[in-house]
Copies of this chain bind each other. A is one copy, B any other.
Amino acid sequence: MTRIKATIEYDGTYYHGFQRQPGMTTIESTLVEAIQKVTGEKLELWAAGRTDARVHARGQVIAFDTNSSIPPGRFARALNAVLPEDIKVLQSEEAAFGFHPRYDARLKHYSYLVYRQEAGRVFYRHQAYYLPYALDLGAMQEAAARLQGTHDFTSFCASGSGARNKIRTVVSCRVLERPPFLQINVVGDGFLYNMVRIIVGTLLKVGEKKMVPDQIDEVIQGRNRALAGPTVPPQGLYLMAVIY
């Protein structure tokens, strides 16, 4: 039995999220089918993060145990031969004994893309959030810096989350100009349900001058979802990398 670790990317547009659900096409079910095709084995899969419907990944990490004779480094090519063209394995290798992509992750890096201009938007309709209005970038950057650190992120957690402990550490939150995009990078040790999308919605509220950067501290301290900004749409969100 060998444990395989694989780094994958996917365009989440046409999937009902990562996690397997009865009767739905998900990233997980598509990967499990692909592995079954190349190894003949029906197996369990673990992932670093369960991305939602329409959310993308450029560096999702998965693991599975196999008795196949395929060398660990060759799984990438073998799986790519049977995977649909919107899911690709970038790299595969043998994992350490007991490795778990989620519990062993030290940091996760998410990016959110906002598309800033009218022309060309049709090409990014599934891959960015279209927002052509003026934004105060300096204020957004100031607000982003206030989110960094160890906080109770209850205000940035969608209701319905099962997480009891809502204290997380955001080691970096940055707003970058990448014309024609605005790219918001968030790196942290873990994220609550919809946390990145609520962080971005809150930063955009600051950018639109409906909130001042100083208010971020009050939003955090209030521990109340209603104090933060809206949840931005899923298609701008990317799980970029998982750091072990």
Contact = CB atoms under 8 A, between A and B. Distances in A.
Contacts of A11: 122-123, 125
Contacts of A22: none
B56 A86 contact: no
A116 interface: no
B9 A120 contact: yes
Highest count of chain B CB atoms <10 Å: which of A121, A122, A127: A122
A81 B56 CA distance: 28
Interface string A101-128: 0000000000000000011111101010
Nearest to A86: B122
A86 B13 CA distance: 14
A56 B127 contact: no
Interface residues of A, number: 18
Contacts of A9: 119-120, 122
Nearest to A84: B122
Interface string A152-190: 000000000000000000000000000000000000000
A90 B132 CA distance: 14
Contact of A121 (B88, B120, B123, B127): B88
A87 interface: yes
A58 interface: yes
A10 B122 contact: yes
Nearest to A88: B122
B58 A120 contact: yes
Nearest to A127: B123
Nearest to A85: B125
A177 B111 CA distance: 25
A85 B122 contact: yes
Interface string A70-102: 000000000000000111101000000000000
B90 A58 contact: no
Nearest to A90: B119
A58 B122 CA distance: 9
Contacts of A58: 119-120
Given A58-B119, A85-B122, 15 more contacts: A9-B119, A9-B120, A9-B122, A11-B122, A11-B123, A11-B125, A56-B123, A58-B120, A85-B125, A86-B122, A86-B125, A88-B118, A88-B121, A88-B122, A123-B127
